[in-house]
Chains A and B, each alone.
Chain A
């Protein structure tokens, strides 16, 4: 690999990240979605007196909001590009670099939003485990897997005519196994908080992440190649 190629890749990655951050309108819309969704939940649940929600319910609600945020973020990163630019990148870059660029730029925003959402949940529902190390570790692994999966699905959906809804339809059945892994990891959070947290309990989630990442890297060149 020549040095010009490497620098070209670096420029592309930098551009993707910058585009993600400069696309303030989209970013602000996603942040608004997170805030409004949590306000809606607060109004629907906490204000009406269901203050003592079980942690299981909170986990599910959190991940539902996160899944929609991730779908928005990954699909917008593909629609941001004008149609001609696809072809330009195709002549310039290896598809894996393109995929990783898209993945990283989405990951920045989804991680930011998941942190924001945890902070809001921590305050609004006064759920103290929301900022523990266990929570953050599981959240990072979960967001990584979800973002990878939905980046791949969005790249498929962006090739179709009715892409936004299709990204949801295609992605949700595939996301549920991952969601169950995450919830299973989180179900012991009350116990683990008392006993201290060991990284080994994350292994099944990490293996699943690796499986999704591997499949995505294998398949993306074929999706992109038309």
Chain B
């Protein structure tokens, strides 16, 4: 579902220097300029209004170029400002690319007529992923990576609570519950790490970058692998339960410190959304249509985690029935 739902139409703008002219190359995603040529309209958007751009040439089905020199590019010494580019065709509706047109000074568009665009339709109907610069198709990962990490933290928290319960109550079943919840949580953690790595490859350019959040996640996986190594090297069940519960408590606390506290410390920078001054997805990428799916997906992944945990728990109970 998250893979089949189309990305909404969008445009991607690149600046090309050509001789003395500056060209804007506009690539369309899920849109056809040639087909929609009759209805195609382009605007430059500044806070004052929308200014129609008429001087463009269509290069192909999904690309066109705009010559900036013909829209009165004045070379004043004022500081650089960026205008948004807004495009419309009948099939894709209104789409925009923020801060795409460089301009020096606002007077260069004064010659153009401001236009009221409220009569044009707002773009694709129905549920689609929002099209954002840089993120492009990778926004789908929101439904996997982020939600799986929510599920993982839930399961590890459950394991942590049951480890404490074991320490306080000496009930061996609680230790089994804690270890099974940690196993499922570790599985989710590894899957979350893999989906995050694929996302990082296409947005940051590498599967693994040195980043406090990533290192914390990698270490968390190591901690819980060590936890299972510890469990496997002790034969006496009560001894195993006691010692692994103690290790579980200390590793969970340090893990939470490491992925949630340390990246927020001053002077630690992170590329991860929501960290180090980067906006989290929720602030501008999560539109309301996505929210409708995102929150149930969090609950759904968490439930799937606990469902797997429940199956494992019952399997364990059946194996130990005698």
Selecting from B66-74, B111-119, B140-148, B246-254, the interface stretch reads: B246-254
Q: Is the CB of B242 within 8 A of A223?
A: yes
Chain B: minimal CB distance from A54 (Å): 17
In the complex, what residue of chain A is closest to B233 when comparing beta carbons?
A160
A159 to B253, CA, bound (A): 22
In the complex, what residue of chain A is closest to B265 when comparing beta carbons?
A204
A167 to B251, CA, bound (A): 14
**B201 in contact (CB, < 8 A):** no
Q: Is the CB of A160 within 8 A of B230?
A: yes
Interface string of B236-280 (1 = CB under 8 A from A): 101100110111011101100110001001011000000000000
Q: Is the CB of A173 within 8 A of B223?
A: yes
Q: Is the CB of B246 within 8 A of A162?
A: no
Which residues of the other chain, A, contact B235 by a CB distance below 8 angstroms? 161
**A211 in contact (CB, < 8 A):** yes
Given contacts A211-B253, A222-B245, A226-B238, whether A176 and B219 have CB atoms under 8 Å apart is: yes
Which residues of the other chain, A, contact B219 by a CB distance below 8 angstroms? 173, 176-177
**B299 in contact (CB, < 8 A):** no
Q: Is the CB of A215 within 8 A of B265?
A: no
Number of A-B pairs whose CB atoms are under 8 Å? 70
A23 to B258, CA, bound (A): 37
Which residues of the other chain, A, contact B292 by a CB distance below 8 angstroms? none
In the complex, what residue of chain B is closest to A215 when comparing beta carbons?
B250
**B209 in contact (CB, < 8 A):** no
Q: Is the CB of A223 within 8 A of B253?
A: no
Given contacts A223-B243, A225-B242, whether A170 and B226 have CB atoms under 8 Å apart is: yes
A162 to B236, CA, bound (A): 14
Q: Is the CB of A177 within 8 A of B249?
A: no
Q: Which of A124-169 contact B (CB under 8 A)?
A: 152, 156, 159-162, 166, 169
Which residues of the other chain, A, contact B245 by a CB distance below 8 angstroms? 222
**B197 in contact (CB, < 8 A):** no
B239, B250, B253 pick with most chain A CB within 10 angstroms: B250
Interface string of A158-201 (1 = CB under 8 A from B): 01111000100110111011001000100000000000000000
A211 to B261, CA, bound (A): 13
Q: Is the CB of A152 within 8 A of B233?
A: no
A166 to B253, CA, bound (A): 20
A36 to B245, CA, bound (A): 38
Measured as residues with beta carbon below 8 angstroms from the partner, the interface class of chain A is 20 to 34
Interface string of B4-22 (1 = CB under 8 A from A): 0000000000000000000
Q: Is the CB of A156 within 8 A of B247?
A: yes
Which residues of the other chain, B, contact A19 by a CB distance below 8 angstroms? none
Which residues of the other chain, A, contact B257 by a CB distance below 8 angstroms? 177, 208, 211
Which residues of the other chain, B, contact A174 by a CB distance below 8 angstroms? 223, 250-251, 254
**B304 in contact (CB, < 8 A):** no
Q: Is the CB of A215 within 8 A of B249?
A: yes
Which residues of the other chain, A, contact B254 by a CB distance below 8 angstroms? 174, 177
Which residues of the other chain, B, contact A166 by a CB distance below 8 angstroms? 229-230, 233
Chain B: minimal CB distance from A160 (Å): 4
**B35 in contact (CB, < 8 A):** no
Q: Is the CB of A160 within 8 A of B234?
A: yes
Q: Which of B213-229 contact A (CB under 8 A)?
A: 215, 219, 222-223, 226, 229
Chain A: minimal CB distance from B294 (Å): 30
Q: Is the CB of B233 within 8 A of A222?
A: no
Chain B: minimal CB distance from A93 (Å): 19
**B167 in contact (CB, < 8 A):** yes
Q: Is the CB of A170 within 8 A of B247?
A: yes
In the complex, what residue of chain A is closest to B245 when comparing beta carbons?
A222
Query: A170 contacts which of B230, B234, B262, B268 (Cβ < 8 Å)?
Result: B230
A177 to B268, CA, bound (A): 13
Interface string of A54-86 (1 = CB under 8 A from B): 000000000000000000000000000000000
Interface string of A195-226 (1 = CB under 8 A from B): 00000000010001001000110010011011
5 A-B pairs, CB-CB below 8 angstroms?
A159-B234, A174-B250, A204-B265, A223-B243, A226-B238
B residues engaging A (CB < 8 A)?
167, 215, 219, 222-223, 226, 229-230, 233-236, 238-239, 242-243, 245-247, 249-251, 253-254, 257-258, 262, 265, 267-268
Q: Shortest 9 CB-CB distances between A and B: which pairs?
A: A173-B222, A173-B223, A219-B246, A160-B233, A177-B258, A156-B243, A223-B246, A170-B226, A226-B239
In the complex, besides A174-B223, A211-B257, 20 extra interface pairs with C-beta distance below 8 angstroms are: A156-B247, A159-B239, A160-B230, A161-B233, A161-B234, A166-B229, A166-B230, A170-B229, A170-B247, A173-B219, A173-B222, A174-B251, A176-B219, A177-B262, A208-B257, A219-B249, A222-B167, A223-B242, A226-B238, A226-B239
